Amino acid sequence: MGILLATAVNGVLAVGITFVIITSGIDLSIGTVMTFSAVMTGVFITFWKLPIPVGVLGGILVGALCGCINGTAVAKMKIPPFIATLGMMMVTKGLSLVVSGTKPIYFTDTPMFTKISMGTVGGIPNAVLIFFAAAIIASVMLSKTVLGRYTFALGSNEEAARLSGINVDRWKIAIYALGGTFAGLAGVMMASRLNSAQPALGAGYEMDAIAAAVIGGTSLSGGEGSILGTVIGAFVITVLTNGLRILSVPQEWQTVVTGVIVIGAVYMDIIRRRKS
Write the pLDDT tens digit of every residue in 74-114.
999 999 999 999 999 999 999 999 999 999 999 999 999 99
- Measured between alpha carbons, how far apart are the two ends of the chain, in Å? 39
Chain segment 120-161, per-residue pLDDT in tens: 999 999 999 999 999 999 999 999 999 999 999 999 999 999
What does the alpha-carbon distance between residue 33 and residue 177 come to, in Å, rounded to a whole number? 12
Band of residue 72 on the pLDDT scale cut at 50, 70, 90: very high
What does the alpha-carbon distance between residue 210 and residue 82 come to, in Å, rounded to a whole number? 13
Domain range list for the chain: 2-202
What does the alpha-carbon distance between residue 76 and residue 73 come to, in Å, rounded to a whole number? 6
pLDDT (average), residues 46-61: 96
Chain segment 218-252, per-residue pLDDT in tens: 988 899 999 999 999 999 999 988 998 899 988 88
pLDDT exceeds cutoff 80 at 273: no
Angle at 223 between CA 217 and CA 229, to 5 degrees: 25
CB 189 within 8 A of CB 12: yes
Q: Is 50 left (phi over 0), alpha (psi -120 to 50) or beta?
A: beta
User: What is the separation of C-alpha 31 from the centre of its chain, rounded to a whole number of angstroms?
Assistant: 7
List all residues 6 or more positions away from 28 whose beta carbon is below 8 Å from its beta carbon: 82, 85, 86, 88, 89, 206
pLDDT (average), residues 199-216: 89
List all residues 6 or more positions away from 62 whose beta carbon is below 8 Å from its beta carbon: 36, 37, 40, 41, 184, 187
What does the alpha-carbon distance between residue 175 and residue 181 come to, in Å, rounded to a whole number? 10
269-272 own/partner pairs: CB under 8 Å, 24+ apart: 269/214, 269/217, 269/219, 269/220, 269/221
CB 107 within 8 A of CB 38: no
